[in-house]
């Protein structure tokens, strides 16, 4: 028998190296896109590793290898807040029913946030290896985390010690609650699916042949696990096998179910996103287009619009029923803030900034301060914006030269301690075009 290809999430050290190579490859160069940018959410400085959408469809949360999480307004297509807490990649995110949200990191920590507050309101520590998945209980009172320390932990949000579920022999890669909130389901590299009753009852163990990377549970209790062999495996709530389907030729790295449970999006590590009809067990389509490969996916409450987070650092929208990339279909609409600057090279470069910054006085702040009047302004001096402390102590004055320098060396080196995700513009002409554009567009 052919050996199962190695798992898409290699062990920590290997993955570190692999991710570094990937980063070098991307070199964080901001390249102008020929597609209209306003249906894409661009802001991260690294691949988008995790995504969640709020139950009302108004907010998304993304986590990235760039160590930040971003809270997005899906109605305004704008970044509302950059969240900095984790020391390394943000591998997992979740949104709670009351609007709070959670991030889980490669640093083994979990942070709970309230929108608008710059620091987490709670942190949970205890995992001794990266956290790679989070799930929220149906009543919103507990968070489950899956970690490469081989444990699953269930954390009561109102305090108290976590339940530590031990038994997996390898990295735990995915976790989900059952619809009644009484059990959690986990999948591991070992390769097993485990159903853990949280009242301490007997754990159901389902051994498989392929390592497992991701898991979801539908509203009717059916379990869907994504395998390193590119297949999706289905199980009843009690753990009986209910079939399988080949979704990808490469390992499935992430599985997302539509809220009504009809569709499954399965992202393959090297390939595209497969859309599967769960009841029929058929592959209905494969999303092809820009931004692949995809690391993460989440459905809107409409059960058909899909957000994907890609290696290209963008968050994109798709129609999972027609397979259309909505970014490519909604051609430059009137709400494109840069429509007036069509053909301007600097405006194209600025597309990498638009999710987080505005240009005119009445548009206000987004995740970053408005750039209106930026030239001549001292760093971190704009009233009404909550700047990071280290920036307030710096004496940089923003001029075309200092802004160009900021993106030549990157925000992390030029303004250490910043929450702005790391990004550089490698090409001097592009940097020049950007600052020429800012001179025109920021009103000074
Ligand atoms: C994901 C969001 C995001 C993106 C994308 C982004 N920024 Fe920022 N930017 C921020 C945040 C947040 C701050 C505030 C930093 C802090 O307080 O730590 C900031 C700060 C700045 C500042 C300093 C402002 C001041 O008043 O001191 C400048 C200048 C700036 N950004 C320019 C840009 C440009 C130009 C781009 C595109 C090439 C860009 N930014 C892309 C989030 C972003």
Q: Which of 46-55, 224-233, 317-326 has the lowest mean pLDDT?
A: 317-326
- Asked if 304 and 324 touch (Cβ cutoff 8 Å), the reply is no
Give the closest residue (by CA) to ligand 1 atom 7: 420
* Confidence band of 271 (pLDDT split at 50, 70, 90): low
pLDDT at 19: 39
257 lines ligand 1 (CB under 6 A): no
Q: Is 72 in the pocket of ligand 1 (CB under 6 A)?
A: no
Give the model confidence (pLDDT) of 292-314 as tens digits.
Answer: 778 899 999 999 999 998 887 88
pLDDT at 136: 98
Average pLDDT over residues 26-36: 35
Q: How far apart are CA 405 and CA 394, in angstroms?
A: 15
Which numbered atom of ligand 1 lies nearest the CA of 378? 27
Question: What residue owns the CA closest to ligand 1's atom 37?
Answer: 353
How far from 218 is each of 76, 127, 132, 366, CA to CA, in Å? 30, 27, 20, 35
Q: How far apart are CA 274 and CA 248, in angstroms?
A: 7
Q: What is the pLDDT of residue 37?
A: 41
Amino acid 66: pLDDT: 86
154-163, 235-244, 269-278, 298-307: which range is least confident on average? 269-278
Which two tokens mark 376? 């001549």
Determine the Cα–Cα distance for residues 412 and 423; give it in Å rounded to an integer: 9
Verify whether ligand 1 is closer than 6 Å to residue 78 (CB atom). no
Per-residue confidence band for 28, with pLDDT thresholds at 50, 70 and 90: very low
Q: What is the 221 CA–ligand 1 centroid distance (Å)?
A: 44
Q: Rounded CA gap, 24 and 281, in Å?
A: 39
pLDDT tops 90 at residue 196: yes
Residue 7 has pLDDT above 50, yes or no: no
Whether the pLDDT of residue 225 is over 60: the answer is: yes
CA of 444 to the centre of ligand 1 (A): 18
Distance (Å) from CA 51 to ligand 1 centroid: 22
Ligand 1 proximity of 82 Cβ (cutoff 6 Å): yes
> Is the CB of 414 inside a 6 Å radius of any atom of ligand 1?
no
Average pLDDT over residues 98-103: 96
Distance between alpha carbon 444 and the CA centroid of its chain, in Å? 36
For ligand 1, whether the C-beta of 420 sits within 6 Å is yes
Across the range 241-267, mean pLDDT stands at 94
Across residues 353-374, what is the average pLDDT? Answer: 88
Mutate to test the pocket of ligand 1, among 33, 71, 369 (most ligand atoms within 8 A of CB): 369
Residue nearest to ligand 1 atom 27, measured at CA: 379
Dihedral over Cα of 318, 322, 324, 326: its sign: negative
CB 209 within 8 A of CB 192: no
Q: Which of 31-45, 100-114, 145-159, 192-206 has the lowest mean pLDDT?
A: 31-45
**pLDDT of 270:** 67
What distance in angstroms lies between residue 350's CA and the mean position of ligand 1's atoms? 11
Instruction: Tell me, in angstroms, the distance from the centre of ligand 1 to residue 103's CA.
Output: 22
In angstroms, rounded to a whole number, what is the distance separating the alpha carbons of residues 118 and 113? 8
Flag whether pLDDT at 203 surpasses 50.
yes
Q: How many CB atoms lie within 10 A of CB 36?
A: 18
| pLDDT attached to residue 291 | 64
Q: What is the mean pLDDT of residues 37-66?
A: 85
Q: Which residue has the higher pLDDT, 404 or 16?
A: 404
* pLDDT tier for residue 24 given thresholds of 50, 70 and 90: very low
Atom of ligand 1 nearest to the CA of 377: 26
> Confidence class of residue 339 from pLDDT cuts 50, 70 and 90?
confident
Who contacts 83 (Cβ-Cβ below 8 Å, separation ≥6)?
68, 69, 70, 71, 103, 111, 113, 419
At residue 36, does pLDDT exceed 80? no
106 exposure class (CB count in 10 Å sphere: 0-12, 13-18, 19+): buried
Rounded mean pLDDT of the chain?
86
What is the mean pLDDT of the segment spanning 70-87?
88
Q: What is the pLDDT of residues 418-439, one digit of tens each?
A: 988 888 999 999 999 999 999 9
Better pLDDT: 270 or 148? 148
pLDDT > 80? residue 186: yes
In whole angstroms, give the CA distance from residue 291 to residue 280. 28
- Residue 45 confidence (pLDDT): 80
Query: Is the CB of 276 within 6 Å of ligand 1?
Result: no
The pLDDT > 90 percentage for the chain reads 66
């Amino acid at each position: 028998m052919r050996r199962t290809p190695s798992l898409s999430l290699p062990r920590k050290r290997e993955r570190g190296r692999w991710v570094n190579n990937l980063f070098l490859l991307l070199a964080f160069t901001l390249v102008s896109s020929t597609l209209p940018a306003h249906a894409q959410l661009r802001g991260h400085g690294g691949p988008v590793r995790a995504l969640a959408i709020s139950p009302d469809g108004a907010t998304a949360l993304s986590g990235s290898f760039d160590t930040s999480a971003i809270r997005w307004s899906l109605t305004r297509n704008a970044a509302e807040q950059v969240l900095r807490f984790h020391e390394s990649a943000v591998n997992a995110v979740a949104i709670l029913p009351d609007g709070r949200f959670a991030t889980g990191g490669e640093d083994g920590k979990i942070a709970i946030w309230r929108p608008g507050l710059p620091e987490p309101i709670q942190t949970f520590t205890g995992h001794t290896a990266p956290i790679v998945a989070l799930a929220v209980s149906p009543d919103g009172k507990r968070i489950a985390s899956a970690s490469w320390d081989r444990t699953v932990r269930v954390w009561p949000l109102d305090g108290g010690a976590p339940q530590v579920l031990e038994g997996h022999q390898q990295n735990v890669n995915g976790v989900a609650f059952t619809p009644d909130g009484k059990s959690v389901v986990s999948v591991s590299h070992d390769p097993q699916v485990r159903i853990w009753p949280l009242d301490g009852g007997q754990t159901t163990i389902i051994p498989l042949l392929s390592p497992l990377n991701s898991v979801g549970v539908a509203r009717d209790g059916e379990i869907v696990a994504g395998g390193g062999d590119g297949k999706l495996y289905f199980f009843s709530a009690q753990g009986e096998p209910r079939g399988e389907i080949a979704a990808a030729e490469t390992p499935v790295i992430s599985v997302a179910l539509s809220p009504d449970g009809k569709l499954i999006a399965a992202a393959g590590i090297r390939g595209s996103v497969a859309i599967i009809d769960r009841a029929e067990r058929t592959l209905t389509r494969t999303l092809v287009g820009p931004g692949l490969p995809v690391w993460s996916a989440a459905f809107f409450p409409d059960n058909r619009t899909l957000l994907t987070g890609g290696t290209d650092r963008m968050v994109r929208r798709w129609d999972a029923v027609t397979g259309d990339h909505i970014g490519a279909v909604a051609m430059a609409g009137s709400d494109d803030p840069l429509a007036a600057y069509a053909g301007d090279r600097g405006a194209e470069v600025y597309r990498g900034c638009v999710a987080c910054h505005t240009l005119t006085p009445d548009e206000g702040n987004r995740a970053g301060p408005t750039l209106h009047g930026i030239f001549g302004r001292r760093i971190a001096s704009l009233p009404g914006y909550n700047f990071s402390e280290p920036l307030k102590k710096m004496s940089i004055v923003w001029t075309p030269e200092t802004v160009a320098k900021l993106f030549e060396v990157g925000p992390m080196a030029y303004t250490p301690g910043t929450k702005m995700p790391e990004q550089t513009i490698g090409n001097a002409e592009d940097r020049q075009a950007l600052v020429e554009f800012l001179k025109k567009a920021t009103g000074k």
